[in-house]
Amino acid sequence: MGPVLAGVLQLLALTGALALVHIPFGTCMARVYSSKKHLRVEKWIYKGIGADPDTEMAWPAYLRGVLAFSLVGVLFLYLLQRLQGVLPGSMGFSSVNPAQSFNTAVSFVTNTNWQSYYGEQSMGHVVQTAGLAVQNFVSAAVGMAVAVALVRGFARSRTGELGNFWSDLVRGTLRILLPIAALAAVVLVACGAIQNFSGVHEVGQFMGGRQQWGGGAYASTEAIKELGTNGGGLANANSAHPFENPTPFSNLLEIFLILVIPFSLTRTFGVLVGSVRQGYAILATMFTIWLGFTALMMWTEFAHHGPALQAAGGAMEGKEVRFGVGGSSIFAVSTTLTSTGAVDSFHSSFTGLGGGITMLGMMLGEIAPGGVGSGLYGMLIMAVIAVFIAGLMVGRTPEYLGKKIGGREMKLAACYILVTPALVLVFTAASMALPTPPHSMLNSGAHGFSEVLYAFTSAANNNGSAFAGLNANTDWFNTMTGFAMLLGRFLPMVFVLALAGSLAGQQPVPATAGTLRTEKPLFTGLLVGAILIITGLTYFPALALGPLAEGLA
Amino acid sequence: MTTRTENHEDAMSTPTLAPHQDAPTGHRPAEGRVGAGLFEPGQLLKSLPEACRKLDPRVMVTSPVMFVVWIGSVLTTVFSFQHPGDWFGWTISAWLWLTVIFANLAEAVAEGRGKAQADTLRKAKTDTVARRLLADGSEEQVPGTALTIGDLVVCEAGDVIPGDGDVVEGVASVDESAITGESAPVIRESGGDRSAVTGGTKVLSDRIVVRITTRPGETFIDRMINLVEGAARQKTPNEIALNILLASLTIVFLLACATLPPLANHAGTHLTMVVLVALLVCLIPTTIGALLSAIGIAGMDRLVQRNVLAMSGRAVEAAGDVSTLLLDKTGTITLGNRQAAEFVPVKGTTEAEIADAAQLSSLADETPEGRSIVVLAKERYGLRERHQGELVGAEWIEFTAQTRMSGVDVDGRKIRKGATASVIAWVEERGGTVAEDADRTADRIAEEGGTPLLVAVEDGGGARVLGVVHLKDVVKEGMRERFEELRRMGIKTVMITGDNPLTAKAIAEEAGVDDFLAEATPEDKMALIKREQAGGKLVAMTGDGTNDAPALAQADVGVAMNTGTSAAKEAGNMVDLDSNPTKLIEIVEIGKQLLITRGALTTFSIANDVAKYFAIIPALFAAVYPGLDKLNIMHLSSPNSAILSAVVFNALIIIALVPLSLKGVRYRPMSADRMLRRNLGIYGLGGLVAPFIGIKIIDLLISLVPGIG
């Protein structure tokens, strides 16, 4: 079997598995978020945190919950790292410096998992499991909660109520993320991923040298890291490391875990708004972009010229032999089109155009299918924008799912789409303009610029993957990517929740033959076009100076 | 309807609202029904001074997109003064200024058309002298501007009515051509639904006393002038929302351009202010930004051309969203009056006999129903129309509301035709009997929704009923197709009638409306509107009476007839000067067309960006990264020519689209799906492809200029 065929077959297997799972799983998630009953363990938690899970919240209250919970998370993670040196179970690692502690705390709370540290050389078991791993669950659950709140905004009418944040947070964690992560961890262990709390082992190398290996909860971390579209691994090599991702099958499983919640949430959306066909339209939009990007990536990586590359069956630099070009391409596209940021290969080593595809994927706002929750709400915002333009073209003032898109709704959607481009472009330009930050670049010219552009694209979009090469552990990059992550995560959430509140208060307009049919393929096509043109074109000049300049040379 | 001014001797001095536009008639062909306003290239030239006046930054700031272009033009001009030898800077500056002027031109042309109409209206608003009635019955002469609400003024033949008001005494014929353009005089009388008079109109006969209901300066004609001039124009909700989207796109592209210099420096090239501004102007949605306000003004103008005054732009937008139309049966769905449809003889009588008797007895009946009997007899039975003078010695009995019968006594025969009860009474009075099947036929006709009229005769054979005339509501031609179209557009039609449910149902079925409200009272109407609105629907209706006022105010689009009361006109958000209720359908179409034009040009504007990137990015960076020249798929001759071509195209496309923005995109009733597919094809794909071709052509032309390229 040739490598191209292997790649295509993996793609087909993945698509088939997602197609099988998304309907029952999406429907099940809809039930989780609309059920009236609480599990016993949930009741204990509510009692513990003093929250009443049955109180309906208006959008400001919901937002306060999101922000307060996240702020506590950041403070806790920051302190945990600063105090690591005096905590037990730290494998002898010292406390982390302030800039890096801030960066890492923000990174994990914002579901970004940008890592300016070497995991196996700086974070002990306590920080990894009690701090970072916990945020892997709850930051994902926060994203899903916000998405569900927006969906409720569409589904409900003449009410300001968006549900209860604490209940959504706890249910997302306990009923969705935990069971699947546990199951996936067992499968990963079966594949060969390790799971222990052992200390550092020193082993002899094949070529003669000595090497140190740290133990850790690799399999369980890996499961939630992918499932919650977090991306922050224990090892610096991330999912390219055999402890995290030992076989081609585990590789495919991890891609599946990355994609399963974002894709299935479209079904949840469809069920909750009372029209599964609306969910299919969003799913089709996400899938079209994801498939298109994957196909492009495989094409550019397989077709790369040069005798060495041809002999290897494609551009193999920076890719693991056990995954090949196919498995690495699918992983790279999936991790950057979601807010995951885990990597099983080195994006910096991809062909110029391939690197550009990973960046463009993030620049689209990570909405195809996007991060858990954030992908759905990001896509719905784009749908609102597309509906606004297309709705006018059918001769009505725009409406989506029966809700009018008026001045206030437009203002919130417009603010949403402004946030990440502003963060990416301003921070990148500042880094290039100032005297010191460019010293972090490993390469010169277009590739060096790509390293910086990638860093802020990844941070502002809460992806977390790195292009490699850039020395991000400087005060400038730690602080600035930290701010990019914070603003890139929570400003959009403010606009999303305000929009949800505004929509929930509306009286829906009944659909007639004169209404724009947003569940039709025509609308899907329009939405894909709007996403590529509106968000894609924003970055065209920057992409031209980085990956395009390199890829077209 | 269309006679207007042609037969009017003093056509020049009779101001007409829209002399260039035919008034719409009840039915027009479906193809391209929303007609285009006229656009003459000469208007562009005429509006040029106004366009330049609008360069004032205080005016520019209202359009965020064009204001950015304005600032860019200032910056590049300053740059050019610093580098006077740089032809490129000067050329770009010139085209950027042209871009701004073209945008202002679009708005000025749209406004200019309203101004012409306002001038005609102003002529009607000459200073009048009012004859104010004092408490003791005497009169005093005061200027029309000194009148206050509640004043009573006397107007006699030849007087111009000094202000808006209601007739409280007398009846007069009034020439309202100053506001409606309709030269036929109308009757205005105290009490009832025809009591409203408008300032500036002229009393032709008799004497009336008018109670003034508006302050000077706030009269109907003042408001009309403000409206057509656009002085009262406020941005509509959808326009505001669209402006927000355009502003945010402008900010995004502003960021993309403003952050470019350090990235370019790293790449080893220096970007001048001129090329950065050029790139920015090409990327921000200037096409729609330039044309947005012209589209809005032109939309209002299209209504004015149809003699409809929208009191707010919001109402025009709401018209596009309407999902329920309440249509009055009489005058909208059916012709104003019932017409004879058939003659049904009783046993022992032939159809020819009853036709003959019906015709004879109706000759003296001047009501439309009576005329229709004569017409039916002629068309169906070939009976020549006889005139009253032809029959010697005939005694004519005219129809009156009291007797409810008409007829003739001739050659010893007495023939009568009229309401069932009246004719039966007449026959029985004369000792005749009413045939049983006459009764039955009459009942059947009534059940079918028609009105039966009996025809009876008294001759040598005694008094007897000959048969029954079936009077029917006649549905206007083409209404069924029109309602079918509305259904395809997702609009539900509800017929409102005072008829009983049986009659209403029969007509509703014949006309093809979706629903009907029979024996409708104003309260029923109100309840219906509220019920529809509670379901999230937008409702449009027409009305003229004072008792319609609450419903007109409640409806999302309330079109008051100009013949109606001032209460109705106050309550509605539109006034139809032609008082033609069918126009409601056109109003909806104009509302939709306005929104479609906005959406289409927005799509076009955004889609244009792709080609401009392919022109400018290689021009800027191919020197340092030669690979980027592969993006130069148009093979533009030189970097400067490429940038200039994109800027020139960006400016020219505005002028090229001015006619479209004034006329509105072609609109035909069809489902949302088909409409979207069609408009996406034309304006989405067209917007992607057109600039590739346009920029290439401009580049070819520019490269011919020596010293460039």
Q: What is the pLDDT of residue B231?
A: 57
Indicate if the pLDDT at residue B171 is higher than 90: no
User: Radius of gyration (Cα) for chain A, nearest Å?
Assistant: 22
Q: What is the pLDDT of residue B172?
A: 86
Average pLDDT over residues B50-66: 91
Let me know if A400 is exposed, middle or buried by CB neighbors in 10 A (0-12, 13-18, 19+): buried
The shortest CB-CB distance from A407 to any of B241, B251, B490 is to: B241
Mean pLDDT of chain A: 93
Which chain A residue shows the shortest CA-CA distance from B613? Answer: A540
Q: What is the pLDDT of residue A401?
A: 94
Indicate if the pLDDT at residue A202 is higher than 50: yes
Query: What pLDDT, in 10s, does the model give residues B191-204?
Result: 776 778 888 888 88
The shortest CB-CB distance from B256 to any of A398, A507, A541 is to: A541
Q: Does A532 touch chain B (CB under 8 A)?
A: no
Side-chain half-sphere of A77: how many Cα atoms within 13 Å? 30
* Cβ–Cβ gap B621/A549 under 8 Å: yes
DSSP state of A204: E
* Cβ–Cβ gap A526/B680 under 8 Å: yes
* Cβ–Cβ gap B617/A438 under 8 Å: no
CA dihedral over A305, A309, A313, A319, signed as positive or negative: negative
The shortest CB-CB distance from A510 to any of B535, B621, B624 is to: B535
Whether the CB-CB separation of A413 and A385 falls below 8 Å is answered with: yes
Average pLDDT over residues A237-257: 95
Average pLDDT over residues A499-528: 92
B133 beta partners: B139
For residue B705, count other CB atoms closer than 10 A to its CB: 11
Indicate if the pLDDT at residue B15 is higher than 60: no
Indicate if the pLDDT at residue A356 is higher than 90: yes
Indicate if the pLDDT at residue B8 is higher than 80: no
Q: What is the pLDDT of residue B126?
A: 63
Indicate if the pLDDT at residue A294 is higher than 60: yes
For the ranges A64-78, A537-551, B60-74, B212-226, the lowest mean pLDDT is seen at: B212-226
**Can you tell me the distance from the alpha carbon of A378 to that of A375, in angstroms, rounded to the nearest whole number?**
5
Whether the CB-CB separation of B255 and A540 falls below 8 Å is answered with: no
**Can you tell me the distance from the alpha carbon of A120 to that of A122, in angstroms, rounded to the nearest whole number?**
6
Let me know the angle formed at the C-alpha of B560 by B564 and B188, rounded to the nearest 5 degrees.
Answer: 15
Q: What is the pLDDT of residue A292?
A: 97
Q: Which residues of A touch B626 (CB under 8 A)?
A: 553
The shortest CB-CB distance from A426 to any of B259, B317, B600 is to: B259
Let me know the angle formed at the C-alpha of B57 by B51 and B59, rounded to the nearest 5 degrees.
Answer: 60
The contacts of residue A427 (CB under 8 Å, 6+ apart) are A456, A459, A460, A480, A481, A483, A484
Query: What pLDDT, in 10s, does the model give residues B378-401?
Result: 888 887 777 777 777 788 888 777
pLDDT range class, residue A58, cuts 50, 70, 90:
very high
Indicate if the pLDDT at residue B413 is higher than 90: no
Identify the three-state secondary structure at position B405: strand
For the ranges A377-391, A487-501, B189-203, B550-564, the lowest mean pLDDT is seen at: B189-203
CA nearest B63: which of B196, B202, B247? B247
pLDDT range class, residue B481, cuts 50, 70, 90:
confident
pLDDT range class, residue B402, cuts 50, 70, 90:
confident
Query: What pLDDT, in 10s, does the model give residues A141-186?
Result: 999 999 999 999 999 999 989 999 999 999 999 999 999 999 999 9
Helix, strand counts (H, E) of chain B: 26, 22
Q: Which residues of A touch B260 (CB under 8 A)?
A: 429, 541-542
**Can you tell me the distance from the alpha carbon of B170 to that of B209, in angstroms, rounded to the nearest whole number?**
7
Q: What is the pLDDT of residue A308?
A: 65
Average pLDDT over residues A295-315: 80
- Give the residue from B34, B234, B235, B238 with the most A CB atoms within 10 Å of its CB, the best one to mutate: B238
Instruction: Give the whole-number percent of chain B exceeding pLDDT 70.
Output: 92
Indicate if the pLDDT at residue B331 is higher than 50: yes
Instruction: Give the whole-number percent of chain A exceeding pLDDT 90.
Output: 79
Residues in chain A: 553
pLDDT range class, residue B283, cuts 50, 70, 90:
very high
Amino acid at A232: G
Distance from CA of A281 to the nearest CA of B (A): 15
Q: Which residues of A touch B255 (CB under 8 A)?
A: 421-422, 425-426, 538
Distance from CA of A549 to the nearest CA of B (A): 6
Helix, strand, coil content of chain A in percent (nearest 5): 65, 5, 30
User: DSSP strand E in B367-479: where?
Assistant: 395-397, 405-410, 413-419, 451-459, 462-475
**Catalytic position from the list B193, B328, B365, B473:** B328
pLDDT range class, residue B124, cuts 50, 70, 90:
low
CA nearest A297: which of A273, A280, A320, A314? A314
Q: Which residues of A touch B679 (CB under 8 A)?
A: 393-394
The contacts of residue A408 (CB under 8 Å, 6+ apart) are A502
* Cβ–Cβ gap A397/B263 under 8 Å: no
The shortest CB-CB distance from A392 to any of B264, B537, B596 is to: B596
Average pLDDT over residues A458-466: 95
**Can you tell me the distance from the alpha carbon of A82 to that of A230, in angstroms, rounded to the nearest whole number?**
22
The gap from C-alpha A278 to its chain's centroid, in whole angstroms, comes to: 23
**Can you tell me the distance from the alpha carbon of A512 to that of A120, in angstroms, rounded to the nearest whole number?**
60
Which chain A residue shows the shortest CA-CA distance from B240? Answer: A407
CA nearest B55: which of B67, B47, B44? B67
Distance from CA of A530 to the nearest CA of B (A): 9
Q: What is the pLDDT of residue B181?
A: 67
CA dihedral over A67, A68, A73, A79, signed as positive or negative: positive
**Can you tell me the distance from the alpha carbon of B434 to that of B424, in angstroms, rounded to the nearest whole number?**
7
User: Is pLDDT larger for residue B460 or for residue B708?
Assistant: B460
Q: Which residues of B touch A544 (CB under 8 A)?
A: 617, 621, 625, 628, 631
Query: Rounded to two decimals, what is the model's pTM?
Result: 0.87
Q: Does B358 touch chain A (CB under 8 A)?
A: no
Q: What is the pLDDT of residue A256?
A: 98
The gap from C-alpha A81 to its chain's centroid, in whole angstroms, comes to: 24
Average pLDDT over residues B12-36: 36
- Backbone phi, psi, residue B92, to 5°: -60, -45
Mean pLDDT of chain B: 84
Average pLDDT over residues A401-411: 93
Q: Which residues of A touch B284 (CB under 8 A)?
A: none
Q: Which helix H or strand E contains B131, and what residues bound it?
A: strand B129-133
Cis peptide before B581 (omega within 30 of 0): no
User: Per the structure block, which two tokens stand in for B220?
Assistant: 């109907």
The packing angle between helices B313-321 and B286-305, to 10°, is 90
Q: What is the pLDDT of residue B174?
A: 86
The shortest CB-CB distance from A432 to any of B251, B262, B630 is to: B262
User: Per the structure block, which two tokens stand in for A449?
Assistant: 């610029």
Distance from CA of A57 to the nearest CA of B (A): 25
Q: Does A414 touch chain B (CB under 8 A)?
A: yes
**Can you tell me the distance from the alpha carbon of A346 to that of A548, in angstroms, rounded to the nearest whole number?**
18
CA nearest B285: which of B504, B535, B64, B606? B606
User: Per the structure block, which two tokens stand in for A314?
Assistant: 């494609």
- Give the residue from B676, B677, B678 with the most A CB atoms within 10 Å of its CB, the best one to mutate: B676
pLDDT range class, residue B13, cuts 50, 70, 90:
very low
For the ranges A435-449, A480-494, B407-421, the lowest mean pLDDT is seen at: B407-421
Distance from CA of A295 to the nearest CA of B (A): 21
Average pLDDT over residues B610-617: 93
User: Per the structure block, which two tokens stand in for A124?
Assistant: 């002990």
Whole-Å CA distances, A532 to A184, A342, B153, B609: 34, 24, 68, 12
Q: Which residues of B touch A425 (CB under 8 A)?
A: 255-256, 259
**Can you tell me the distance from the alpha carbon of A280 to that of A264, in angstroms, rounded to the nearest whole number?**
10
User: Is pLDDT larger for residue B364 or for residue A334?
Assistant: A334
Q: Which residues of B touch A549 (CB under 8 A)?
A: 267, 621, 624-625, 627-628
User: Is pLDDT larger for residue B17 or for residue B297?
Assistant: B297
CB < 8 Å from A in window 609-628 of B: 609-610, 613, 617, 621, 624-628
Whether the CB-CB separation of A285 and A524 falls below 8 Å is answered with: yes
Domain locations in chain A as residue ranges: 377-551
- Give the residue from B259, B291, B323 with the most A CB atoms within 10 Å of its CB, the best one to mutate: B259
Indicate if the pLDDT at residue B37 is higher than 60: no
Which chain A residue shows the shortest CA-CA distance from B622? Answer: A549
Let me know if B179 is exposed, middle or buried by CB neighbors in 10 A (0-12, 13-18, 19+): buried
Which chain A residue shows the shortest CA-CA distance from B248? Answer: A414
For residue A522, count other CB atoms closer than 10 A to its CB: 17
CA nearest B705: which of B622, B638, B650, B651? B638
Q: Which residues of B touch A512 (CB under 8 A)?
A: 323, 490-492
**Can you tell me the distance from the alpha carbon of B450 to that of B448, in angstroms, rounded to the nearest whole number?**
6
Average pLDDT over residues B454-474: 87
Distance from CA of A416 to the nearest CA of B (A): 10
Whether the CB-CB separation of B646 and B612 falls below 8 Å is answered with: yes
Question: In chain B, what is the greatest distance between 2 CA atoms, to the nearest angstrom?
Answer: 118
User: Radius of gyration (Cα) for chain B, nearest Å?
Assistant: 33
Q: Does A529 touch chain B (CB under 8 A)?
A: yes
Query: What pLDDT, in 10s, does the model give residues A10-54?
Result: 999 999 999 999 999 999 999 999 999 999 999 999 999 999 999
Whether the CB-CB separation of B286 and B246 falls below 8 Å is answered with: no
- Backbone phi, psi, residue A420, to 5°: -65, -45
Q: Does A393 touch chain B (CB under 8 A)?
A: yes
Indicate if the pLDDT at residue B653 is higher than 80: yes
**Can you tell me the distance from the alpha carbon of A150 to that of A46, in angstroms, rounded to the nearest whole number?**
23
DSSP string, B187-202: EEESSGGG-EE-TT-E
User: Is pLDDT larger for residue A231 or for residue A90?
Assistant: A231
Annotation says B328 is catalytic:
yes
Whole-Å CA distances, B355 to A306, B344, B380, B400: 100, 9, 9, 22
Cα dihedral value B346, B350, B352, B357, nearest 10: -40
**Can you tell me the distance from the alpha carbon of A285 to that of B331, in angstroms, rounded to the nearest whole number?**
50
User: Is pLDDT larger for residue B207 or for residue A327?
Assistant: A327
**Can you tell me the distance from the alpha carbon of A126 to that of A70, in angstroms, rounded to the nearest whole number?**
20
Whether the CB-CB separation of B152 and B132 falls below 8 Å is answered with: yes
The contacts of residue A199 (CB under 8 Å, 6+ apart) are A91, A214, A215
Residue with tokens 């499961």, as numbered in its chain: A223
* Cβ–Cβ gap B610/A533 under 8 Å: yes
Q: Which residues of A touch B595 (CB under 8 A)?
A: 392, 395-397
- Backbone phi, psi, residue A98, to 5°: -60, -45
Distance from CA of B536 to the nearest CA of A (A): 5
* Cβ–Cβ gap B244/A414 under 8 Å: yes
**Can you tell me the distance from the alpha carbon of B90 to that of B640, in angstroms, rounded to the nearest whole number?**
12
For the ranges A274-278, A413-417, B567-571, the lowest mean pLDDT is seen at: B567-571
Q: What is the pLDDT of residue A79?
A: 95
User: Per the structure block, which two tokens stand in for B441?
Assistant: 């036929």
Which chain A residue shows the shortest CA-CA distance from B590? Answer: A395
Q: Which residues of A touch B488 (CB under 8 A)?
A: 513
Residue with tokens 């009148």, as numbered in its chain: B147
